[in-house]
Amino acid sequence: MRIGINASFVRKPNTGIGQVTVNFLKHLAGQKSEHKIFLYLEEDIEFKIPSCFKKRIFLPWWQRDDLIRKVWWEKYLLPKKAAEDECDAFFSLYQCPTVFDKKIRHVMLVHDIIPKIFPEYLDNWRKKKYWNFTEHAIRQADKIVCVSKRTEKDLIEYLGINGKEIAVDYIDVDDIYKKNVLREKSEKVMKKYKLKPGYIYNGGGLEARKNVEGILQAYCHLLGINKKNLFTDHFPPLVISGKLMPQLAPLITDVGKLAKELNLDPYVKILDFVPQADLPALYRNCSMFVYPSFYEGFGLPVLEAMNQGKPVITSKKSSLPEVGGDAVLYTDPGDYKDIAMVMKNVMVNGHLRKILSERGKERAKKFSWDLFSEKIFNLFQK
């Protein structure tokens, strides 16, 4: 078969979709394939690919990286290029406006439908138009693959998609999270960010739906009830990583401003953006990872922390229980006192931390790029 793949997000490896794109392609490049693979790109890729892979790098004349270019590339140029290459099938690695004629079997990976569930993300006409195109393309795909059962349910509920047209295929994390962090690397990262092991960690972005505000309120509550060292003499600091963009409020939490309002400046360390190379060490050196997000299509940070054997506290909502299973602790993301109670339990109970560490590492083994890729290629045959 001649199979096309939208690999555009290779150029954005620090995003969730970028990580999925890079890891899927790396895995695919390492496998023997009888198919001819066409990679459609906006920029070249850095890793090696086998001879059966053909790169197609192109841009419209409008080259500014905005929604105009995005629509032009995905909706108009991409189908034309795939037709010129006589593709039999096409795999879109994310939800997008791409539609093909029936000669090309189109499989689309849908991570989430956040703009449909949270319309505040569609705060201008360009975003609304892009999402309208995307909804239409999702409905036109020959097969939809979701990264979680939660996203599958959302597609059925919000878009009216027939469940028979949907398959669920769990993604995995980058191999960097599966490796032990060397002592030298660990010490280097701790020195770089001026940290000592044992902190409480939250990472994965500062979007309001990820509920960093709930973590700060829970942490403030814990500090208040521990004023007289009721349960610990050495109260761990809270470390938060994520790109600081207060100008995007209310979609983004201004974590620095909120920490000041709660008088948490002496106790909270805000790292801003952290490159992926440093993240395994940040996970490895924390006492717990706290991620009470209101909504996730999957929840890669939870799986990343589990791979590093760290106790995880996360939300009982959306897709997160599918990722964590019985290996993590759950909390009500809308109740900061509940978040605080679960954090306290992990903080004071060393045996619980050990159990969560062991269960997390075992649970993480259930996610695999091999399984993901096998299921995707089976769909091309049907």
Q: Say what the pTM is.
A: 0.92
Q: Could you report the per-residue pLDDT of 304-319, keeping only the tens digit for each? A: 999 999 999 999 999 9
What are the E-state strand segments in 226-359? 238-240, 268-270, 286-291, 312-315, 329-331
Q: Whole-angstrom Cα distance, residue 330 to residue 266?
A: 28
Q: Long-range contacts: 367-371, Cβ < 8 Å, 24+?
A: 367/170, 367/171, 367/172, 367/173, 367/303, 368/172, 369/23, 369/24, 369/27, 369/171, 369/172, 370/27, 371/169, 371/170
Residue 61 is predicted with a pLDDT of: 87
Q: Could you report the per-residue pLDDT of 343-378, keeping only the tens digit for each? A: 999 999 999 999 999 999 999 999 999 899 888 888
| Average pLDDT of span 105-116 | 95
Answer whether 98's CB lies under 8 Å from 137's CB. Answer: yes
How many Cβ atoms sit within 10 Å of the Cβ of residue 289? Answer: 27
Residue 7 is predicted with a pLDDT of: 94
Residue 250 is predicted with a pLDDT of: 80
| Average pLDDT of span 132-143 | 96
Instruction: Determine the residue type at 38.
Output: F
| Average pLDDT of span 22-29 | 89
Q: Between 236 and 33, whose confidence is greater? A: 236
Residue 231 is predicted with a pLDDT of: 65
Domain boundaries in the chain?
2-172+368-380, 175-364
Starting at the edge strand that comes first in sequence, how are the strands of the sheet with 286-291 ordered? Answer: 268-270, 238-240, 199-202, 286-291, 312-315, 329-331
Q: Could you report the per-residue pLDDT of 141-161, keeping only the tens digit for each? A: 999 999 999 999 999 999 999
Answer whether 346's CB lies under 8 Å from 353's CB. Answer: yes
| Average pLDDT of span 91-113 | 95
Q: Whole-angstrom Cα distance, residue 121 to residue 227?
A: 40
Q: Could you report the per-residue pLDDT of 227-240, keeping only the tens digit for each? A: 777 667 788 999 99
Is pLDDT at 47 greater than 90 in this prediction?
no
Q: Could you report the per-residue pLDDT of 246-269, keeping only the tens digit for each? A: 777 788 899 999 999 999 988 999
CATH number 3.30.70.980 given to 2-172+368-380: no
Token pair for 38? 């066409």
Q: Could you report the per-residue pLDDT of 59-98, keeping only the tens digit for each? A: 888 888 889 999 999 999 999 999 999 999 999 999 999 9
Q: Is 33 helix (H, G, I), strand (E, B) or coil?
A: coil
User: Which class does domain 175-364 fall in?
Assistant: alpha beta
Given this chain, do its domains 2-172+368-380 and 175-364 carry the same CATH topology? yes
